[in-house]
């Protein structure tokens, strides 16, 4: 009974900390993911004997970091230009709502025009766009803090091993903790790297399709598809619906809307069900139910950002739980087939 009470109090305390401390925690988590990604790139560079032998570690950290930051800055500029274009053109899209209502009425043969007119003002696609823009703006505004956090993590990395040895003098404890950290780094690094590759493939092919269809600001929508693909399960669905609905407003007819659903939806299905499983395999070892629950839980706590971070955080939890006897049962329940290989 006492243990249950302690568990309940601890859980509530953690949730409260996550809610009220998200301003500090979210940039820190992104900085950790950036660190994992840079270390993954560094390990790949070390496979080249010349680079491993002659280039110092600080350069192998600095080089991929600068590349990532340069890409991020370039994308930010393009996104801001596309967002401004959409914002200026939005009043023109509003005039297509009447045409959409008439087309729906003719398609279904039901006199629902007046009913839709009465509720048309309740639908504000601009408000949806503003919420998307706000999420992107928040991420851009936190970029400086994320970079500062990542910089200090890289500086701390040099002495971290020595600190662990000093803190855990018993060899078994030190090796166990090092093993846990190694598994976390390997799993998260692989996930971020492969997921980024898969999302990039999806975004690039979707950009070509959207450019062919003629949607305004295809770069913005392709980047949104790339970003939303990090959200498991529902991310690909949302990434398909948003540009499709925007096409409906832009053109005022169903042709481009259906084309986006067909082309982008097919890309999502092919990449998500054929390419991604072959690249990622079963390395995450998380059940489908846990994936959905984690998505809902972290989404409720941290919004869209929490959805993006739900899988990496859950993987870290499973790995940690698997290394302790008291929590190993939880790790087994969270795993896909009840087997843990950590």
Q: Residue 132's pLDDT is what?
A: 56
Calculate ∠ Cα 92-96-98, nearest 5°.
135
Does residue 331 belong to any structural domain of this protein? no
Q: Residue 210's pLDDT is what?
A: 92
Pair 313, 297: CB distance under 8 Å: no
Q: Residue 90's pLDDT is what?
A: 65
Other C-beta atoms lying within 10 Å of the C-beta of residue 336: 14
Does residue 330 belong to any structural domain of this protein? no
Q: Residue 204's pLDDT is what?
A: 92
State the 10-residue block means of pLDDT for the chain, 342 residues long: 68 80 83 81 78 74 74 69 67 67 64 51 52 60 77 78 77 78 78 84 92 86 86 81 83 83 90 78 70 85 81 82 79 76 60
Q: Residue 140's pLDDT is what?
A: 63
Does residue 131 belong to any structural domain of this protein? yes
Q: Residue 209's pLDDT is what?
A: 92
Does residue 317 belong to any structural domain of this protein? no
If one counts the domains in the chain, the total is: 1
* Model confidence pTM above 0.95: no
Q: Residue 116's pLDDT is what?
A: 47
Q: Which domain holds residue 125?
A: 2-18+25-283
Q: Residue 263's pLDDT is what?
A: 92
Q: Residue 249's pLDDT is what?
A: 78
Pair 63, 51: CB distance under 8 Å: no
């Amino acid at each position: 009974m006492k243990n249950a009470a302690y568990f309940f109090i601890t859980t509530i305390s953690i949730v409260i900390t996550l809610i009220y401390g998200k301003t500090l925690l979210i940039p820190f988590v992104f900085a950790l993911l950036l660190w994992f990604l840079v270390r993954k790139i560094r390990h790949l560079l070390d496979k080249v004997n010349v680079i491993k032998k002659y280039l110092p570690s600080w350069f192998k950290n600095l080089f991929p970091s600068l590349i990532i930051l340069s890409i991020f800055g370039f994308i930010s500029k393009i996104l801001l230009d596309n967002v401004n274009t959409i914002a200026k053109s939005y009043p023109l899209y509003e005039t297509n709502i009447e045409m959409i209502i008439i087309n729906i009425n003719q398609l279904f043969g039901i006199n629902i025009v007046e009913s839709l007119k009465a509720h048309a003002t309740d639908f504000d696609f601009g408000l949806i766009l503003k919420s998307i823009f706000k999420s992107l703006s928040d991420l851009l505004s936190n970029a400086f803090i994320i970079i500062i956090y990542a910089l200090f993590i890289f500086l701390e990395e040099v002495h971290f091993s020595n600190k662990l040895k000093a803190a855990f003098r018993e060899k078994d404890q030190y090796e166990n903790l090092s093993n846990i950290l190694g598994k976390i780094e390997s799993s998260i690094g692989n996930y971020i790297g492969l997921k980024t590759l898969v999302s990039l493939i999806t975004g690039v092919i979707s950009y070509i399709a959207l450019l062919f269809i003629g949607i305004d600001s295809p770069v913005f929508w392709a980047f949104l598809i790339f970003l939303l693909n990090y959200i498991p399960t529902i991310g690909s669905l949302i990434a398909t619906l948003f540009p499709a609905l925007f096409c409906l407003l832009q053109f005022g007819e169903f042709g481009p809307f259906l084309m986006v659903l067909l082309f982008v939806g097919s890309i999502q299905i092919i990449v998500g069900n054929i390419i991604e499983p072959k690249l990622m395999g079963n390395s995450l070892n998380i059940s489908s139910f846990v994936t959905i629950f984690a998505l809902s839980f972290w989404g409720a706590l941290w919004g869209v950002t929490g959805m993006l971070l739900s899988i990496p955080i859950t993987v870290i939890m499973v790995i940690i739980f698997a290394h302790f006897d008291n929590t190993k049962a939880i790790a087994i329940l969270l795993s896909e087939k009840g087997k843990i290989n950590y």
